[in-house]
Amino acid sequence: MSKQQEFGGVIGRDWRDSEPWWPSATTPPEGAPNVVLIVLDDVGFAQLGCYGSDIATPHIDALADGGIRLGNFHTTALCSPTRSCLLTGRNHHSNGMGRVADLAMGYPGYSGVIPKENGFLSEILRTHGYATYAIGKWHLSPDDETNMAAPRWTWPVGRGFDRWYGFHGGETHQFVPTLYHDNHSIRPPRTIEEGYHLSADLADQAIAQIGDLRAVDADQPFFTYFCTGACHSPHHAPLEWIDRYRGQFDGGWDLWREQTYARQLQTGVIPPGTELAPRPPWVTPWDELPAEDQRVAARFMECFAGFLSYTDAQIGRFLAFLGDLGELDNTLVVLVSDNGASSEGGPNGSINDGRLWNYDPAPPEELRARIGELGTATAHNNYPWGWTMAGNTPFKRWKREVHEGGVADPCIVHWPARIPPTGAIRHQFAHAIDVLPTVLELVGIVAPETIEYVPQRPVDGTSFAYLLGEAGADDPGRHQTQYFEMLGSRAIYHQGWKAVTFKSIGPAYAGGTANYDTPFDEDQWELYHVAEDHSEVHDLANEQPDRLASLVELWWDQAAKYQVLPVDNRIVHTVMNPKPDRRRPRHRYVYFPGGSPVPESVAANVRNRSHQIAADVTIPPDTTVEGVLLAFGSALGGFTFHVSDGRLRYVHNLYGRDRHTVDSPLVVPAGRHLLEFRYESTGSGGEGMLVCDGAAVGAGPIAQFTPVRFNIHGAGLSCGYELGPVVGTGYDAPFAFTGILHSVVVTLGEAAPAIDPMAVIDSIMSEQ
């Protein structure tokens, strides 16, 4: 919203002596292109075909062949922070996104809320006549503001987007996602059995949004912010796409890495002379894995590859639609990944990442037994970190860390109307904060001093539009200094040199030296001449201590300037000490049938504590009812309290590993009844009881109740139905209750004993 234009007509006493006037319409610059920003998730530097991979990404590769690839593009090492940089042109701590939005702290650089002073690209383009659309992952709203009772000003439609279709949080189930449309929660438009997959749905919605625009306005340019769930875990894909890769990765991650490195040198995506960083000692050599574990590891990678290729095909459908409209030539497409490949699958791979939160990772023997589930709806699979290492070839380390493996990422720019289709590669340093000023320069817009009356902070990034012309190859580069910080790991790039230090976030973290609890001034810094040593192989810290000292001092200067301080690597401390909750404490929650799913962070917390669930129902006469009374989560973890063939039933799903069932033989008679499930905790487990109108009708043990988190893909609490894939067995989602469900009341007992933070960090970080 800009300042209202002064009225230019005449106001008389009536229409006879008055002259009407209309304010001039906001119009984009002459010839302004459409803008499409595609953000991939957890895709490492080496995982696209055009960056050296043998995974098929033909549509993304076509963008690279017809545009420019950046071989020295950088991100922040995590998703929310990088996305904030892309959309604002400011550094992530300046945006309050020093971490992911879920791990906010009470400091300006870590608040989890992007201030209005840092305007979004969507806000800028909309004030210049663009239609603005967001598709897919958001993850830029505080965790406690991602529910239907929350304010919407941090949601896409509150930050300059006209429309949004996608999901909150870091990840979601790819076959049954937790979806939002503009400002409200919705259910997926199709089922798994009907062939639903989120990647295809996002492409459908992106096409529909542009189709809706062109049905009304043939000329208005648009900005589409297209953020896939791929390739964040869970690595879900249609089986036929996964099976295309059967056997392709049987040679293992060491061989794949060497072959990819050779292709990177051959194509020039890495500079000549770049060395392959050594395999870290905590990654098991492929040849030392037992044959059965090699097969499991290869299948994990087949799932990832199928997921990436399937998503590439959906991106291709969207781009083909723009081509059919005759608009692709004048569409500026920028494609990036948000951080390096993820190591969160641990050394063996994970069949359910939620188990890491509950410190119970699946051992190798369980992975062998369940290999057939990988990539399907009942798994939340993530590959072993040997594949992470390979996915970041030729670099060391990975997502969450600020060595190149965590922060060096693909970036492709494609605009046939202005960029010669040479497929050229540029090796000047660039960063995610540079994308916004680059887009503005190419469109022909100056960053505004105010947006909606709010004075704007200066943009931190440097446009790399100069790289996109034929003379770009010879330019020495203009982004000369860039700090990095993520959960205590720190780095500074300055004029071709980089100082970097790794900080552990837990005592068992891969390659850590248990420095997670030592003062930051004692961290061991490394020094690399990355202009010549692109992959950080030759540490020059001992040879050039003065240069290192000056770079470290420069890091502290940048940290003070951009709200990085205080530096803090304590993840579990943040989890155990969340920001104050404005809601009053309570032990009684009331839910009503058919409402939107309630996220776990704001739902009644029944985890490993005594509680009662009481459903007020009416059973019609001469009817055998069935369906869900109250449920939480999915096949990957949660509980369901339902009626099956007229009988009460409760199922506790322990993160997909075990199901504990309490049944009742009593068919609930017609009439109005109070149906209850009562749980009495005895420690890590407890006893469950089914009750009808005060009388016990069934009982049974629950050997182990979920201690920390039911699931991590966004499936919340639902009343009167399940989202699926279903928590229990023998029924299908939504399994809506067929009687009359008036309400469900959850009453909580005493809180479970406090969880030892170090026990959590030991377990989680051992699998990071």
Question: Taking residues 447-472, what's their average pLDDT?
Answer: 95
The per-residue pLDDT for range 520-533, each reduced to its tens digit, is 999 999 999 999 99
115 contact partners, CB below 8 Å, separation of at least 6: 95, 96
Q: What is the pLDDT of residue 762?
A: 45
Return d(Cα 357, Cα 653) in angstroms, integer: 15
Residue carrying the six token digits 């790289």: 467
pTM of the model: 0.96
The per-residue pLDDT for range 272-310, each reduced to its tens digit, is 999 999 999 999 999 999 999 999 999 999 999 999 999
643 and 739 in contact (C-beta within 8 Å)?
yes
Return d(Cα 96, Cα 111) in angstroms, integer: 5
For residue 163, how many other CB atoms are within 10 A of its CB?
19
Q: How far is CA 488 from CA 112, 510, 567, in A?
A: 17, 15, 6
Angle between helices 291-324 and 58-65 (to 10 degrees): 60
Return d(Cα 110, Cα 108) in angstroms, integer: 6
Return d(Cα 347, Cα 756) in angstroms, integer: 24
The one-letter code for the residue type at 396 is: K
Evaluate if residue 764 carries a pLDDT over 50.
no
Q: What is the pLDDT of residue 579?
A: 83
H or E stretch including 209?
A: helix 198-216
Residue 750: pLDDT band (50, 70, 90) is: confident
206 and 226 in contact (C-beta within 8 Å)?
yes
Evaluate if residue 515 carries a pLDDT over 90.
no
The per-residue pLDDT for range 578-602, each reduced to its tens digit, is 888 888 889 999 999 999 999 998 9
User: Shortest CA distance to 677 belongs to which of 738, 578, 754, 606?
Assistant: 606
What the chain holds in terms of domains, given with CATH numbers, is 34-476 (3.40.720.10), 483-576 (3.30.1120.10), 588-748 (2.60.120.200)
354 and 636 in contact (C-beta within 8 Å)?
yes
Evaluate if residue 425 carries a pLDDT over 60.
yes
Residue carrying the six token digits 């392709």: 248
Tokens of 135: 């598709």
User: Shortest CA distance to 45 belongs to which of 469, 535, 485?
Assistant: 535
Return d(Cα 762, Cα 768) in angstroms, integer: 10
Residue 472: pLDDT band (50, 70, 90) is: confident
Question: Taking residues 408-435, what's their average pLDDT?
Answer: 97
318 contact partners, CB below 8 Å, separation of at least 6: 203, 206, 207, 226
Tokens of 353: 């990442």
**Between the CA atoms of 509, 512, 514 and 520, what dihedral angle is there, to the nearest 10 degrees?**
-110
Q: Supply the DSSP symbol for 434.
A: G
Evaluate if residue 765 carries a pLDDT over 70.
no
Evaluate if residue 170 carries a pLDDT over 90.
yes
DSSP letters, 521-554, are GG---EEE-TTT-TT--S--TTT-HHHHHHHHHH
For residue 56, how many other CB atoms are within 10 A of its CB?
19
Q: What angle do CA 523, 528, 530 make, to 5 degrees?
A: 140
Q: What is the pLDDT of residue 757?
A: 53
Q: What is the pLDDT of residue 449?
A: 96
H/E/C letters for each residue in 648-693?
EEEEEEECCCEEEEEEEEEECCCEEEEEEEEEEECCCCEEEEEEEC
Return d(Cα 152, Cα 597) in angstroms, integer: 17
